[in-house]
Amino acid sequence: MMRCVTRYVLALALILSVGSAHTAEPPTSPSQPQLRPALLLTGAANREQSIDLSGRWTYSKDLYRTGLNDINGWVAKSRMQRYRDVDIATAEAQGGTDFFEFDLDRGPTMEIPGAWNAAASELRYYDGLIWLQRRFDAAPKAGQRSFLRFEAVNYRAYVYLNGHKIGQHEGGFTPFVLEVTEQLRASDNRLVVGVDSKHDAQTIPGEITDWDLYGGITRPVRLIHTPATFIDDATLQLTQTGRLQGSLQLNGPQAANQPVRLHIASLGLQIAAHTDAQGEARFDLPAPDALKRWSPDAPTLYQVDFASAQDHLHDRIGFRTIAVRGNEILLNGKPVFLRGVSLHEEELGANPARRIDAAAARALLTEVKQGLGGNYVRLSHYPHSETMLRAADELGLLVWSEIPVYWTVDWDNPAVRDKARRMQAETVYRDRNRAALVLWSVGNETPVAENRTRFHAALAADLRALDPGRLISAALLVKREGNTIRIADPLLPYLDVMAINSYAGWYGDDTLKDLAGLRWDLPTDKPLIASEFGADALAGHHDASGTPRKWSEEFQADYYRATLAMLETIPNLRGLSPWVLKDFRSPRREHPVFQNGWNRKGLLSETGQRKLAFDVLARHYRELTANKKSYDDF
Ligand code: GCB
């Protein structure tokens, strides 16, 4: 048997090394090349020479942005420029005419990663620019290149190293990489990042959302050393036709026409290929018979090693297929019902800082998997951290991921559209290897109009080109006509899976009894997910009367019973992600008894206390599984 595999692999290696001169990209849309970030360093956490810059950073508030610009558009005064590489205490000791109106070396500190809103009470609702500084030593070897990789800075980042501007980035939920080979010193580097959390009509999302501001460096920052020519990105996926297809991108002076290798030791697979003139190699081989498909019930991951002459990179990758046939969603060829819940990127606890480390991700997802008996999560309303996606891979939870085109953005502005396209591409390139990720959403509750549909259609077209193996959806608004609920959305033809948010019984005039009388008039030629439904309840607030009032746990539980019964009548319903796993912070929610700055639609309180509705949903999911309505036992 082993000999057979070896022979098969050798034969393949030969075919691949001959046929490895491929075009640089998969099927292209005209503007695709500009969508690929110039540097990716995917799988950075797995790199040996990666230094995590987490810890205490000092900071300096700059509400009027005087560190960036002076009044009248003049250059910022040098005494305000927070990014200067100067020892202010020493300068002050020397005396003279110069003085400074900041000193990051002696500033207050906060824990990074983590949003500033949770760091100090004076920053709770701070929305603007703050400068953050980290000093560190670095000792790259001769000939190495060095990079800073930020996993997320919300919302704009201006990055300076040792007084030099290195780059900037817009978008609060996606990674970016800046090369610092020339600016790095052996010791006592001064990294200063200006972070501006302000949103406006041209940002994504726009100014008003239903979640916390969460400004700051919310995900890890790493200093990474690489060889002169390094593996910038490597991917491998299982196709519908049973092939393993992937690519490896080299970056550096010796990127073109180089031999590279793909190795999956536990499958005895060793594949050789060559990079083309652009430094990209392609892998394409039949999946070996021994390959175990990833699924929520058996989340098998393989260690995959990618190597070039100078560099190597590994990832833990699962292999599965996802498709739509008629109104079914097929996972590995079999119909699956998505038993899920929505969640925000916010850890359990009374003072969350959007700090999702492995333990925080696991704590949330375990409540979904073990607590609710789920197989699915909707990670709303923006790309969650890589850690969350990796935890879903490990635990076995299917994932819906979306970009924050939420409610309304500036639909007519091509610059805003391209910004959304870039953000989406940054997410796709980051997460391509995550088996858990099966659904991309191009927006949430955006009002139907021609310009908005064009905007979403451009995002869907990019996804078809960049990541054809996954499904596309969007959380849509429904139209109410008397007792009938319809979707009249011209975006439907662009989607594989329809999704609707519905709050009848919470918002609006319906009582819970009315829900049974509602009629759903929805197209049935596609699978449908109930992407949101929910009601607020304050944990511990009870109403034992026969008709419980709003805000009580009993009302929320009754709301779930009534809504689940109503949704069951929709013939093509293929998934549920009620709103929401856990109470989350939102400045929109200011009822002084029940809310106090928290959206209370959680099935868990902010500290993880289960409300009555948690059990209603868990029971519903157990029944679905017992009745084999959810076929995910592979
Ligand atoms: C929605 C939004 C979600 C809100 C939720 C609510 O439709 O998609 O972001 O938080 O309603 O609680 O009203």
pLDDT in tens, 295-308: 999 999 999 999 99
Query: Which atom of ligand 1 is found nearest the CA of 599?
Result: 12
Q: What is the pLDDT of residue 39?
A: 98
The b/e string for 66-82 (b: 16+ C-beta within 10 A; e otherwise) is bbbeeeeeeebeeebbb
pLDDT computed for residue 632 by the predictor: 46
List the 302-307 sheet strands across, edge first.
269-274, 259-264, 302-307, 312-317
Spatial distance between the Cα atoms of 238 and 249, rounded to a whole number of angstroms: 19
For ligand 1, atom 4, name the residue with the nearest CA: 210
CA of 534 relative to ligand 1 center, distance in Å: 9
What local confidence, expressed as pLDDT, does residue 629 receive? 56
pLDDT band at 141 (very low <50, low <70, confident <90, very high): confident
Q: Decide: 191 and 161 in contact? Cβ < 8 Å.
A: yes
Residue nearest to atom 3 of ligand 1 (CA): 210
497, pLDDT greater than 90: yes
Distant-in-sequence, close-in-space partners of 631: CB < 8 Å, separation ≥ 6: 334, 335, 336, 337
* Cβ of 501 less than 6 Å from ligand 1: yes
Give me the mean pLDDT over the 246-275 stretch: 98
List the domains of the chain with CATH numbers. Answer: 4-28+337-534+562-611 (3.20.20.80), 47-225 (2.60.120.260), 230-319 (2.60.40.10)
pLDDT level of residue 139 (50, 70, 90 thresholds): confident
Which residue has 């709103």 as its token pair? 579
Instruction: Give the percent of the chain with pLDDT over 70.
Output: 94
Q: What is the distance in A from the centroid of ligand 1 to the CA of 539? A: 19
Ligand 1 pocket residue status of 146, Cβ below 6 Å: no
Is 531 close to ligand 1, i.e. is its CB under 6 Å away?
A: no
**What is the residue whose two structure tokens read 């929520």?**
296
Looking at residue 68, the DSSP 8-state letter turns out to be: T
Please name the residues in contact with 197: beta carbons below 8 A apart, sequence gap of 6 or more: 126, 127, 128, 129, 130, 154, 155, 213, 214, 215, 216
Ligand 1 atom with the smallest distance to the CA of 475 is: 8
Question: Ligand 1 in contact with 444 (CB < 6 A)?
Answer: yes
Task: Output the CA 324–ligand 1 centroid distance in Å.
Answer: 27
Helix (H) or strand (E) holding 18: helix 2-18
Structure tokens at 51: 């230094």
> Peptide bond preceding 177: is omega within 30 degrees of 0, i.e. cis?
no
Task: Please work out whether the CB of residue 210 comes within 6 Å of at least one atom of ligand 1.
Answer: yes
CA of 209 to the centre of ligand 1 (A): 9
210 C-alpha to ligand 1 centroid (Å): 6
Question: Coil, strand or helix: which one is 205?
Answer: coil
Average pLDDT estimate for 479-483: 94
| pTM to 2 decimal places | 0.94
Report which ligand 1 atom has the smallest distance to the Cα of 380: 9
Name the band, by pLDDT with cuts 50, 70 and 90, for residue 8: very low
Indicate if the pLDDT at residue 254 is higher than 80: yes
Residues 6+ apart with CB under 8 A from 320: 238, 293, 294, 295, 331, 332, 435
Tokens (6 digits) for 422: 């870039």
Pairwise CA distance, residues 627 & 408, whole Å: 41
Collapsed DSSP state (helix, strand, coil) of residue 427: helix
State the pLDDT confidence band at 18, using cuts at 50, 70 and 90: very low
Give CB contacts under 8 A, 24+ apart, made by 602-610: 602/539, 603/341, 603/372, 603/578, 604/348, 604/367, 604/539, 605/539, 605/540, 606/348, 606/349, 606/350, 606/352, 606/582, 607/348, 607/349, 607/350, 608/348, 608/363, 608/367, 608/582, 609/539, 609/540, 610/371
Residue 579 in contact with ligand 1 by CB distance below 6 A = yes
Q: Tell me if 599 CB under 6 Å of ligand 1.
A: yes
User: Is the pLDDT at 342 greater than 50, yes or no?
Assistant: yes
Report CA(580)–ligand 1 centroid distance (Å).
9
Whose structure tokens read 């075919």? 15
As beta bridge partners, residue 328 has 325
Regarding the beta carbon of 295 and ligand 1, being less than 6 Å apart is answered no
Q: Which helix (H) or strand (E) holds 283?
A: strand 280-286
DSSP lists the bridge partners of residue 330 as 323, 335
> Which helix (H) or strand (E) is 528 found in, with range?
strand 528-532
pLDDT of residue 13 exceeding 70: no
Q: Identify which of 444, 579, 591 to mutate to test ligand 1's pocket (most ligand atoms within 8 A of the CB).
A: 579
- What pLDDT, in 10s, does the model give residues 537-569? 999 999 999 999 999 999 999 999 999 999 999
Alpha carbon nearest to ligand 1 atom 13, residue: 210
601 C-beta closer than 6 A to ligand 1: yes
> Average pLDDT over the chain, rounded to whole?
93
